[in-house]
Chains A and B, each alone.
Chain A
Amino acid sequence: MTAEAIPGTKVFGTLAQLLENRTVLSVLFMLPAVSILVFFLAYPLGLGIWMGFTDVRIGRPGVFIGLDNYISLFDDDVFWLSVFNTLVYTVTATIAKFGLGLWLALLLNKAIPLKAIIRAIVLLPYIVPTVLSAIAFWWIYDPQFSIISWMLQKFGLIDQFVDFLGVPWNARWSVIAANIWRGIPFVAICLLAGLQTISASLYEAAALDGANAWQRFRFITLPMLMPIMAVVMTFSVLYTFTDFQLIYAITRGGPLNATHLMATLAFQRAIPGGDLGQGAAIATAMIPFLIAATLFSYYGLQRRKWQQGGRDD
């Protein structure tokens, strides 16, 4: 009896043949991952962007209104203030987190006593839930109960408590400091992992060639670390740019909206304010900045020349 004689077998045979096909098989294998990406990432993102073009509100579906939300934002001083705040916040906090994180990673990479315990302690700020540390900072910066002001006063350095959160620039620097405190462990631990992959023989060879500590850092550590730095930098920028919890718990965007980030403003307008369309537009306006930061990390920090210790000539 031949296979063709039984219809069921024929179907089975075709299926088997199909599965033999590399293209079909690869599509099938990718399907679960692709559907997860589509349903949980692409769809919400697409929906968010679409909402930015509508006047949807919580409790009421919207209609397409074109660029109205964006035109209205363009003329909105509070929005531009939040863009400015977000850029200041992201740039300063990221640079500080990177500098201090790298320094900490280099220190932790040395043979020091109780290395494992110290590394665990370093991670603590990152482990504490953000809201808890934010509330702690809220007290630390309190105009009446600040422990920093209290200590400075005890030492006779100030007469009056510092108004950390009541003056726009004080408030900006205060929340940036809180963000740096929280973000350093992430950068430090990731870079430490990178440092440990660098072969000791490279340093030995450099030492034989008479390279000093700076040269070893500049021509071995930095280039070898560059790929992981690109990834860490990308994530760090993304996390900082989209920060919400710290601001929301410490200042709610005050004083005088001086610490409102785009994320907190989007929330304020969309959820308590009910204007989902406007909130979505603000959130969508964050995307170009995020793409720019990602591109910078990928095409900038991953330059082969830099990774080989070279310069742009």
Chain B
Amino acid sequence: MKKLTRRESLKLGATALAGAAVGMNLGHSARAQEPTLDLKPEQGATLRVLRPAKFVAGDEKLWLENTEKYTKATGVQVKVESQGWEDLRPKAAVAANVGKGPDVVYGWHDDAHQYPEKLVDLTDLGDYLDKKYGGWYDVCRKFGMRDGKWIAIPLGAAGARIVYRISALKEAGFEEWPKDLDGMLKVAQALASKGKPGGLALGNAVGDGNTWCHWLVWAHGGKMVDEADQVVINSPETVAALKYARELYQSFVPGTLSWLDPSNNKVFLDGQISWTMNGISIYYAAKNSQDEKIKALVDDIGHAILPVGPVGHPTELHLTVPAMVFAYTKYPNAAKDYIRFMLEREQYVPWQEASLGYFSQPLREYEKSPIWTVDPKHTPYRDLMANMLWPGYAGSLGYASAGVMADFVMVNMVAQAASGDKTPEEAAAEAQKRAERYYKV
């Protein structure tokens, strides 16, 4: 797979800048110099689009409005179907398998890499968006490209930040959430000793559990597989991460071993924990609450990016949404054009705003979206895709990475060690064995 190095991306950026400068010198507006892509939807085209069910109300409303705009502009009728998050992946896979179903699917993470041969080549679209909007984040190429071709176009990522109570942090003697792991542990312990514990999901929580467990292990240098897809989770780095998890766990509120995705939201909003890790949805829920007690939390909620561990670079994992066009579609151009339309500035920026920043962009240009500055509490959610790695890091995306994550190998390992059910060494050894079953040839 072609992977852009930092130097190359800088070069590209510089070229783009130079291009813009030339444009200005010639007296044209920068907009006029923007690349174009004329996909010409097929005559009489209609589309069925499958996307994740809304998590915040504004997301779906704006999505449908944008879709209507698209129909008005092109005459292409589009039927948008929302799917529960956990049913989306199997539904997309079955559609790929039987060759019938929606034309466009907005799926999850590594979906596209499980059936790349069933997808339409989106390289022209990927290149066009890359040039027009300041370039893809590196991780987007990992998610979207295979063998040098674009097979999926990332729409963005929904991700997690530390969500904390400002007053509790101050009471414990800290001004801001630490940027390193040692500092974070100290804060967590100080908060717990003040009777204000935090909590992170350790049950089989698809979103919250995977997000923080992967981040923590990667932050210490542990990883499920190396670049050659060899399972290397049983390593001293992983053991160090698990020892850290054990200490952090002791500052948690009781019951986190059974927490599923909604648990931390409701416990935080009830005022029982002082910090957790979550999407912007807790803040959003507090802001829109009719309950005065919950509404009063709004000013007290702070957001911070996830601390960086000994590896020295961000190691986050967020829920990525790739858009795929299935090869069986009768209207590939219309399908591609729809994906393009939704990612164009005029649609994407208002949609991000309506989603209250729940989705962070895949293209650098949208770092300037007003949503990230209109409220300083949104800003930490801006750089999700700049800071994230991918499922099955540092190996390839595909069946094995998806299977290991769906089987909660990482989450179970952290939960076993954190709760003291197994020693860090035993937990890492068991995870190694479990992961090897997926990565066997």
Contacts and interface: CB of A to CB of B under 8 A. Distances in A.
Which of B203, B205, B266 is the most central at the interface, judged by chain A CB atoms within 10 Å of its CB? B203
Given A171-B258, A255-B257, A145 B406 contact: no
Interface in B238-265: 253-260, 263
Interface residues of B, number: 43
Given A76-B437, A144-B267, A275-B399, A161 B203 contact: no
Interface in A110-162: 141-145, 160-161
Interface in A155-178: 160-161, 163-168, 171
Classify the interface of chain A: helix, strand, loop or mixed.
loop
Contact of A161 (B255, B256, B408): B255
Most buried by B among A78, A168, A268, A272: A272
Contacts of B408: 268
Given A59-B115, A166-B256, A256 B406 contact: no
Contacts of B255: 142-144, 161, 163, 165-166
Given A57-B114, A166-B257, A274 B437 contact: no
B90 A160 contact: no
A256 B412 CA distance: 6
A167 B412 CA distance: 14
A257 interface: yes
A190 B424 CA distance: 51
B434 interface: yes
A145 B94 contact: no
A216 interface: no
Contacts of B257: 163, 165-167, 254-256
Interface in A80-116: none
A59 B114 contact: yes
Interface string A268-282: 110111110000000
Contacts of B267: 144
Contacts of B89: 271-272, 274
A252 interface: yes
A269 B406 contact: yes
A253 interface: yes
A250 to B, nearest CB: 9
B403 A274 contact: yes
Contacts of B97: 58-61
Interface string B198-212: 000011111000000
Contact of B254 (A143, A256, A274): A143
Contacts of B258: 141, 143, 163-166, 171, 251, 254-255
A269 B412 CA distance: 15
Interface string B78-90: 0000000010011
Contact of A255 (B90, B94, B202): B202
Contact of B403 (A255, A256, A273): A273
B270 interface: yes
A139 to B, nearest CB: 10
A72 interface: yes
A76 B260 CA distance: 24
A163 B419 CA distance: 13
Interface in A27-65: 57-61
Contacts of B402: 273-274
Nearest to A253: B204
Contacts of A59: 93-94, 96-97, 114-115, 118
Interface in A255-305: 255-257, 268-269, 271-275
Top 6 closest A-B pairs, CB basis? A143-B255, A165-B258, A273-B406, A58-B93, A252-B204, A255-B257
10 contacts: A59-B114, A61-B97, A142-B263, A144-B270, A144-B272, A166-B258, A255-B202, A255-B258, A255-B415, A273-B407
Interface of B: 86, 89-90, 93-94, 96-97, 114-115, 118, 202-206, 253-260, 263, 266-267, 270, 272, 399, 402-403, 406-408, 412, 415-416, 419, 421, 430, 433-434, 437
Given A59-B93, A161-B254, A254-B415, 12 more contacts: A76-B437, A145-B270, A160-B254, A164-B258, A165-B257, A166-B256, A168-B421, A171-B258, A254-B258, A272-B86, A272-B90, A274-B403
